[in-house]
Structure 1
Amino acid sequence: MTGSADSPKGIRLSDRQRLNWLRLIRSENVGPVTFRDLISHFGSAGDALQMLPELMRRGGGNRPIRVASIEDAEREMELIDKIGGRFIGMGEPGYPPYLRHHETSPPLVAIKGDANLFNIPPVAIVGARNSSLAGSRFTHRLVRELGAAGYAIVSGLARGIDAAAHEASLDTGTIAVLAGGLDKPYPPENMHLYNAIPEKNGVLISEMPMGWEPRARDFPRRNRIIAGISLGLVVIEAADRSGSLISARLAGEMGRLLFAVPGSPLDPRSAGTNRLLKNGAILVTEANDIVEALTPLIGPMIGGASVGELPLNMPDGPDGRDNMLDEATVSPMTLLSDPERDRIIDALSPVPTEPDALIRHTGLHPSQVFLVLLELDLAGRIARHSGGAVSLLPV
């Protein structure tokens, strides 16, 4: 285990930087990967915000890009303050340490509760919403044993297995990842858990805007955070084609250990877990199965370098705002002619292609290739895939 997540060590965003980070991640077509690329290329969120309209124009966008306003960002900050929450940026004290290790991790998260819990070794528990009585009972027992062994429990505040996991870990440490805004818990019947978690030994976390009502496509986004926060993910009762299996796939892509609890072949709720076991998941019948597998992993991941670390110590301008980069401060490598830009675009196709392959094929500098990909991304002309690959979207 490590020290307090709210310790004075570490760099913190200034108020102006936090506002600009919030504006940037709330702007149109800016996801976590694009956000990280913008910061890396322009040095600060303030400079990136200034460049968004020009980048979208270069990428072929046929209408103005929606850039989140200062007023909208300030309003969201006021809303989170009213409910006792706060925003934490990647790299700041209090940001979940394991979550920093993946390229699609949100640059800014909203939390309410005790951020120190993120530094306790976390285990994700997911499973069927229509869980059986036996499944819920086993979840309670497993979670209590994991809590006694010094592990925090991560889940999605859903019905069934999720709710059982949170209930059993209220005293030892529970982390609830929301699919909607921090002020929009779902489902309504779990309001008692939503209220109890930050008041007891727990924390709520979301990447979505305040006031955001969760939709079907938001739950897989939430599932990637559940997997990303955790050292390993345990599936208890999951039918084929269930959200829990999406979480399991994401955990595998992130290099997390995957565990599954076996069930009766006659119960459809065990079809997914039994298939995970056939495909190599670690079989779980007691907490010690998880503890033995995770113990060797606890130290190195928290202490290791994160993926795409974002620069938090960029100085603000003399008037309290980020300075706008002029052409003299941009590397000549990033200045492209139209034929060079066309060469990159022509190399793309509907087939996912890795940026390294584009660099080799075009013979251009990496900064040139990544800049064009940024332009196309902001214009909505490419899709991003796991591992950094990109594909051209149909016109």
Structure 2
Amino acid sequence: AENAALFTQMETKGVLITEQPITQQPLARHFPARNRLISGISKALVVIEAAGKSGSLITARFALDQGRDVFAVPGHPFDARASGCNSLIRDGAILVRSAEDVLNALGVEQNSDQRDLFMHSEPQKRTLPETAKLHSEILRRLGPSPMSEDQLIRDISGNAAQTSAVVVELELEGKVLRQPGGLLSKTMAS
């Protein structure tokens, strides 16, 4: 109810993406799946504050599995609310001190007076035969044993964004299962 106006605005001017029935009330157990979708359609992920067991770290893992850049804002080493961000930086996330750090890393023009923070870039178009070939290749590479999305992308020498998009399509079709840790496997039905 508190987000009804935002929901209506997104419905008319944006996009609503969900794996749950549209009438389903938000449940905490669905947040990781929701955040996987958000990281999947984003160019990068910026973690502002995260404790050691924060859900933001799950989202960061999804973003890495999807080939996205992960940024983190550092915090005081004795502040428990910063331990997750500090760990991300230690493990290779890009350190962020300002919005400009993110814009520079993403290659956004610095001299533009009207920089659009929500860069509207056209997705690379795929023909139907290209998509079908990528579907087949992904299903051929995946088996019952889980594999990371990064490894799958390396194995097929594919474009990370296109491969991730097709993996999501295959998930929605019930042919691919995303397991804990972001690992992928082929379902028995496929």
Using the size of structure 1 for normalisation, the TM-score is: 0.30
How many Å apart are 1:252 and its aligned residue? 0.9
- Structure-2 residue corresponding to 1:302: 122
User: Cα–Cα, structure 1 residues 244 and 387, in superposed 2: closer, same or farther, change >3 Å?
Assistant: closer
How many Å apart are 1:229 and its aligned residue? 2.1
- Structure-2 residue corresponding to 1:229: 41
CA contact (8 A) 1:352 1:391 kept: no
- 1:389 and 2:185 equivalent? yes
Q: How does 1:136-175 map to 2 (within 5 A)?
A: none
Give the total of aligned pairs. 143
Letter in 1 for 2:60: A
Which of the numbers 86, 89, 95 marks the counterpart of 1:277?
89
Letter in 2 for 1:257: D
Describe the superposition over 1:49-101 as per-residue Cα deviations: whole angstroms up to 9, x where unpaired.
xxxxxxxxxxxxxxxxxxxxxxxxxxxxxxxxxxxxxxxxxxxxxxxxxxxxx
RMSD over aligned CA atoms reads: 4.2
Distance 1:210 1:197 in 2: 11
CA contact (8 A) 1:197 1:204 kept: no
Distance 1:261 1:307 in 2: 40
How many Å apart are 1:232 and its aligned residue? 0.9
Q: How does 1:1-395 map to 2 (within 5 A)?
A: 191=2, 193-196=3-6, 198-199=8-9, 203=14, 205-207=16-18, 208-295=20-107, 302-305=122-125, 351-352=145-146, 383-385=177-179, 386=182, 388-390=184-186
User: Cα–Cα, structure 1 residues 279 and 353, in superposed 2: closer, same or farther, change >3 Å?
Assistant: closer
CA contact (8 A) 1:237 1:261 kept: yes
How many Å apart are 1:202 and its aligned residue? 6.5
- Structure-1 residue corresponding to 2:159: none
Percent of aligned positions with the same letter in both sequences? Answer: 38
User: Cα–Cα, structure 1 residues 255 and 353, in superposed 2: closer, same or farther, change >3 Å?
Assistant: closer
CA contact (8 A) 2:147 2:183 kept: no
Distance 1:238 1:202 in 2: 31
Letter in 1 for 2:124: G
CA contact (8 A) 1:353 1:390 kept: no
Distance 2:126 2:55 in 1: 27
Distance 1:216 1:307 in 2: 38
Q: 2:38 is paired with a residue of what secondary structure?
A: helix
How many Å apart are 1:205 and its aligned residue? 2.0
CA contact (8 A) 1:252 1:258 kept: yes
How many Å apart are 1:209 and its aligned residue? 1.3
Q: 1:247 is paired with a residue of what secondary structure?
A: helix
Larger relative contact order (C-alpha < 8 A, sep ≥ 6)? 1
Describe the superposition over 1:218-276 as per-residue Cα deviations: whole angstroms up to 9, x where unpaired.
11110012112211111011011211111111111111111111111121110000111
Using the size of structure 2 for normalisation, the TM-score is: 0.58
Q: 2:46 is paired with a residue of what secondary structure?
A: strand
Letter in 2 for 1:270: A
User: Cα–Cα, structure 1 residues 304 and 258, in superposed 2: closer, same or farther, change >3 Å?
Assistant: same
Letter in 1 for 2:146: P
How many Å apart are 1:387 and its aligned residue? 6.7
How many Å apart are 1:307 and its aligned residue? 11
Q: 1:233 is paired with a residue of what secondary structure?
A: strand
